[in-house]
Structure 1
Amino acid sequence: MIKPRTETPDITINLVDDTTWTLSEQNPSNFTLLVVYRGKHCPVCKKYLETLQEYIPDFENRGVNVVAISADLEERAKATYKEWDIKNVPLGYEFSIEEARAWGLYISKGIKEEPEEFIEPAIFIIRPDRTLYASCIQTMPFARPEIEALIKSIDFVLDKKYPARGEA
C-alpha cells in the first residue's frame, strides 16, 4: 500500500494512440488522476469510463491530467477505445500484474468471459511531485467514487488547500 504524502512508483504505459504515457513526465497544474479499470470485459468499467469522458473538460479546467489503464493486451484495449464512447480519455494497456501489486492493487482470477487474471479498479490522485494525495482501491467492479463527486472534492481541496490525509 502506498501511503499519502509518499512518492508513488513511476509508471510508463503504452496508450492506444501508439504513444507512451509516463507518470514522472506529467506536469499537471494540480493533480494526475490515474484510473485503473478492470478491462474490456467489464460493463461497469464501460459506464465509468464513459462518464469520465463527459467530465474530461472539467478535470482539465482544474489542472488535472487524466489517464485510464488496465492489464488488457493491445488488441483488446484498442477495441475498447473504438467501441466505448471515450475518445478523449487517454487509454493505456498492458499494466502488468507485478506493477499493479507494487501499487497495492487487487488481482482477480478470471471467471466465465474474463481474462485469466486482471486488476481490480482503483483511483489515484497524485500531486505533480508524484506524491500520493488520495486513493480508492477496490476488490470489486462496483463501489467506485462517482466522477462528479471527485470533481467536487477536487474543488474543495484546491479551495481550502486541504492536505493529503491517511499518512500517519
Structure 2
Amino acid sequence: MKPREKTPDITIDLVNDTKWNLGEQDPKQFIMIVFYRGKHCPVCKSYLEELQEKLSKFTDRGVNVIAISANSEKLSKETYKEWNIPDIPVGFEFPIEDARTWGLFVSKGIKDEEPETFFEPALFLIKPNQELYCASIQTMPFARPSFDDIVKAIDFVVDKDYPARGEA
C-alpha cells in the first residue's frame, strides 16, 4: 500500500457493541488508526493511555481516531475497562490476514500471556476519501511515533496543504 492510494476498507466491532466502518468516516482532516498488539502489551497500554490524554488535540483538528487489535472481544472489553482509555473507540478481532494486507508485521506469542499470533503496532493517517496519507509500521513494540509530533505534523500539513509523500 502506497501513499495516495485507497486503503482497504475496515468494518470492525467495537467494545461498546457498535460497529465502525472506515468508509463511513467523515472527518474534516484525517482518520487515525492505531493498531496495537493487545492486552498483553504494557507498551500498548502506556501508548493508548497517552493517546487518551491527547485525544482532544486530534478531535479538535478534525481527526477521527480508533485503536484496533486482534484480541478477542472478551480480552478487548477487559482492556477497555482496565486501561484508562474511555474515549477511544476500540476495535477487536481484526483478522491476521487483513493485518498482513495493511502491511503489519505478525508475531507468534513467546509467553503464556501472549496470543498465539498478533500483529505489531502501526499508525496510519488516512484522508477523508480513504487515501493513505502516511504510515508508521513497527516490527517491535518499541519506537512508536510521538503523538505530539503527529499533532505538529497535522498542523503543518493542513497549513501548507502538504501532499502525501512516498508514492513514487
User: What TM-score do the two structures reach when normalised by structure 2?
Assistant: 0.99
How far the C-alpha of 1:78 sits from its partner, in A, is 0.2
- Partner SS, residue 65 of structure 2: strand
Deviations 1:44-91 (A, max 9, x none): 000000000011111011000000000000000000000000000100
How far the C-alpha of 1:37 sits from its partner, in A, is 0.2
Quick one: percent identity of the two aligned structures?
63
Structure 1 counterpart of 2:9: 10
Q: Give ranges in structure 1 of 5+ residues lacking alignment.
A: none
Structure 2 counterpart of 1:143: 143
Deviations 1:17-39 (A, max 9, x none): 00000000000000000000000
Output the amino acid matched with 2:136: C
- Partner SS, residue 58 of structure 2: helix
CA distance in 2, matches of 1:111, 1:155: 40
CA distance in 2, matches of 1:110, 1:102: 20
Moved over 2 A (4+): none
Output the amino acid matched with 1:6: E
Output the amino acid matched with 2:88: V
Cα root mean square deviation, aligned: 0.5
The 5-angstrom pairing of residues 7-156 of structure 1 reads 7-112=6-111, 113-156=113-156
- Partner SS, residue 20 of structure 2: strand
- Partner SS, residue 145 of structure 1: coil
Paired positions, count: 167
CA distance in 2, matches of 1:84, 1:125: 24
CA distance in 2, matches of 1:99, 1:83: 27
CA distance in 2, matches of 1:40, 1:146: 21
Q: Give ranges in structure 2 of 5+ residues lacking alignment.
A: none
User: What TM-score do the two structures reach when normalised by structure 1?
Assistant: 0.99
Output the amino acid matched with 2:166: G
